[in-house]
Structure 1
């Protein structure tokens, strides 16, 4: 009986509070609904805006490293604005909130100096255009084809289709070798022949191979010369100029052709050998 009276009293108090604060409840309910609506519409609008901007930039043939970086930066900035707008709808003082966020940002910034340096490095990489999407580069202790430059990282794809994520600051603080920047490259081969080989005949064979290869550029002219008298071989340098996209295929094909032509002309290619001398020792 006592419990029932307590429950009845609680319900009566609750009903009384609801009646007395009806206007406040309605206002906060409307504000919460408005905040949720702001978040939903804001997130959808941000997605549509950044997606449309990305499509426009790509339609104008803007490099994808720049378009991806700009749209990512704009997306996170707009999302922060939407969240602040939603909080203001529920009565949060945005001025004080921004001050708190600023103070927290300073503390977080001191704790996350590496991330901020990656962000700054990303801005510099985009601004100075050391490479673009599709370039094959060597940087940050690794190598691969540039897929995209993100806010904090750069995505590389290796020739065997592995994805490598490299911090932007590591790339900026290291040497960057861009193999795709220029349209032509020099192919450097070292061909060793035996000391008893006819050097003039060897030069003629190498010259004939390059002259008959259409992928070797006429200008700049190739160079064939004796570069070293090694321990067991006479080394020729073979340096033709090729288009950048033909580099690897031509290198593999030339090595095969050179080996076959040297064999066909009885020009020996030395290889490491070991002479073993056996001595017989008579027992005393």
Structure 2
């Protein structure tokens, strides 16, 4: 009986000592947790509202919010551990070493992730745009966080990693909504200049894709020994670029044949050496 009472008194003494020494820290840690979670929630709501007002792409918002939320929670846990008297230096070192190891192992994926975030934020192109990138030309089918998918004109699917894509040159054909189709036609120098221009202009005026409120150009670009090169510049909508391109090729050929505009004729120069 005396032994049990002694153990009870010892437990009571240890409990009082623990509450006296650590009670304040525990209460402060709990208070820090409650206030910290509220502050994190407020920051996340503010960040979400700001991104919505600034029209940040909805595809990238969840990634940024999750990233910021995770970092803030890690900082909160370190703060609570420090409040309880736990040495956080070793935790920071472990987290730093783990982060370095993961970063080295996944540096390609992280570069693609960062590139995807940049593309989604700054929008050098959108889904549906016709672009030329990394040596490929096609319509953007999807923009994901690690890669972008193009569908080429011959219906091939090209998957481009976002890391190199975000740091290389991109030609966005669809950005302005209007684009100029530039072509060069060579005809024989025996053809009348005005007749040749009239033949080309007739095709341009008849093109259903050519914009009527734009001035199209038919210019002599180069004079060759037996031919002339004509620059033909036709304005059209971005989404009808290729329709205009092939319409002009086919119908210029038809109109030249109809109007008797001949192709360059090769000439041979013979010299007599006595």
Q: Same fold (TM over 0.5)?
A: yes
For residue 209 of structure 1, what is the aligned residue in structure 2? 203
Deviation at 1:111, TM superposition (A): 3.6
Deviation at 1:99, TM superposition (A): 7.3
Deviation at 1:219, TM superposition (A): 2.6
**1:103 correspondence with 2:92:** no
Distance 1:231 1:206, change over 3 A: same
**1:143 correspondence with 2:125:** no
* 8 Å Cα contact 1:188/1:238 also seen in 2: yes
For residue 164 of structure 2, what is the aligned residue in structure 1? 170
* Residues 100-133 of structure 1 deviation map (CA, whole Å, 9 limit, x = unaligned): 5653222121343332222222111111111111
Deviation at 1:240, TM superposition (A): 1.5
Distance 1:73 1:146, change over 3 A: farther
CA distance in 2, matches of 1:126, 1:210: 39
CA distance in 2, matches of 1:242, 1:151: 33
* SS of residue matched to 1:239: strand
Distance 1:270 1:142, change over 3 A: same
* SS of residue matched to 2:213: coil
Unmatched tracts of structure 2, length 5 or more: 1-51, 71-87
For residue 234 of structure 2, what is the aligned residue in structure 1? 240
For residue 173 of structure 2, what is the aligned residue in structure 1? 179
**1:1-284 aligned within 5 A:** 66-70=57-61, 100=94, 103-270=97-264
Number of residue pairs the alignment of both structures matches? 202
CA distance in 2, matches of 1:141, 1:175: 10
Deviation at 1:216, TM superposition (A): 1.6
CA distance in 1, matches of 2:156, 2:61: 25
Distance 1:71 1:248, change over 3 A: same
TM-score (norm 2): 0.62
Runs of 4+ in 1 over 6 A off after TM superposition: 72-79, 95-99
* Residues 196-249 of structure 1 deviation map (CA, whole Å, 9 limit, x = unaligned): 111111111112222233422133200111111135420111111111122211
Deviation at 1:72, TM superposition (A): 6.4
